[in-house]
Amino acid sequence: MKSEASSERAIVRVRDGKVVDSAALDRVVVEAPLELRVGGKPLTVVMRTPGHDEELARGFLYSEGMIGSLADLLFVRRPEGLTGDEADNVLDLMLAPPPVSLGGLGKSTAPQRPAFERSFVASSSCGVCGKTSIAQLAITSPLVQSPLRVSRAILSSLPERLRASQAVFRETGGLHASAIFDAQGEPLAAREDVGRHNALDKLIGWALAEARLPLSAGILMVSGRVSFEILQKAIVAGLPVVAAVSAPSSLAVDLAERFGVTLVGFLRGASMNVYAHAERVVD
């Protein structure tokens, strides 16, 4: 049975310092572990909001560099024989073997996929858990190149359009959201999750399955702040514009400058700060 994204809990409701309801009910966002296995072996456990789990798995593998296309992933499925919570919270993935050359020594000429040993819990606020050295944070993706231009008026409309897609947030007030829009501000896809990086991984997994990568004509709008992991995933997905209602970190700004991403923060009404590559933002 598929898990729900929100759950009802009993609360004591206090208003203006007084108990107004000692037996009220409230809906809270569900945070649950998702164990990802590759070839039956544990890879990592991601704390997420249930829903679009296969997209999350595909997007996670893609943004981590474990796959470069949908063809690199043979299947994503629920393992057989699991019961209870495990039945809803485990995914088994199988990667395609790397291509081999038919000539010479028969060795593969394709880039080697990175080896991953990440058998621990990644919290909902953790986007780079499992990295064991600073060198592993290096981004090897190409520069983001796109002729996309977006008007300030369109950018100003995106926060409200993002909120319109946040059905579970309206119930719980406890979810992050990411959405991809086109240059006219029309939504292409939106996802919610207790982890901001999970919401983006779900979008990347959607785009991978829809053969839309790189998203060189897309605008990413996120509900919170922009830090390293959000920019890293946006760069891997080829997104030329990243906008947020809150602040970016210094490293996010540096990455945006370096990789050619237009970075917009504090996007509230007609006000915004453009931190990098402002040439894409036009009247």
**151 or 112, which is more confident?**
151
CATH of the domain at 162: 3.40.140.10
Looking at 91, 110, 134, the residue that finishes a domain is 134
What are the pLDDT digits (tens) for 168-183? Answer: 988 898 889 999 999 9
Choosing from 126, 128, 209, 251, the catalytic residue is: 126
Calpha distance 183→206 (Å, rounded): 19
DSSP lists the bridge partners of residue 73 as: 95
Query: For the chain, what is the total number of helices (H) and then of strands (E)?
Result: 7, 15
Q: Is residue 185 domain-shared with residue 112, that is, in the same domain?
A: no
> Taking the model in full, what pTM does it have?
0.87
Task: Look at residues 215, 156, 202, 207 and name the one whose alpha carbon lies nearest to residue 175.
Answer: 202
CATH of the domain at 94: 3.10.20.10
Domain contains 205: yes
The one-letter code for the residue type at 237 is: A
User: Same domain for 116 and 72?
Assistant: yes
Q: What is the pLDDT of residues 209-252, one digit of tens each?
A: 999 999 999 999 999 899 999 999 999 999 999 999 999 999 99
Residue-range definition of the domain harbouring residue 208:
150-282
Q: Is 129 a catalytic residue?
A: no
Q: Please report whether residue 15 resides in a domain.
A: no
Q: What is the largest CA-CA distance in the chain?
A: 80
Number of structural domains the chain divides into: 2
pLDDT tens digits for 15-35? 999 999 999 999 999 999 999
State which of 134, 165, 191 marks the end of a domain. 134
Tell me what percent of the chain is helix, strand and coil, each rounded to the nearest 5.
Answer: 30, 30, 40
Residue 270 sits in the same domain as residue 187? yes
The answer to whether residues 154 and 255 belong to one domain is: yes
Examine the domain organization and report whether 154 and 118 are in the same domain: no
Q: Could you tell me if 155 and 276 lie in one domain?
A: yes
The pLDDT of residue 132 is above 50: no
Question: 192 - beta bridge partners?
Answer: 177
Q: What average pLDDT score do residues 181-199 get?
A: 96
Q: Is residue 90 part of a domain?
A: yes
Task: Look at the block and give the residue holding tokens 């993935």.
Answer: 93
d(Cα 127, Cα 206) in Å, to the nearest integer?
A: 19
Domain termination residue (choose one: 134, 158, 173): 134
Beta bridge partners of 274: 264
Residue 123: closest CA among 69, 204, 193, 209: 193
pLDDT value at position 49?
A: 96
> What pLDDT score was predicted for residue 127?
55
The pLDDT confidence band at residue 140, using thresholds 50, 70 and 90, is confident
Identity (one letter) of the amino acid at 20? Answer: V
Same-domain status, 186 and 269: yes
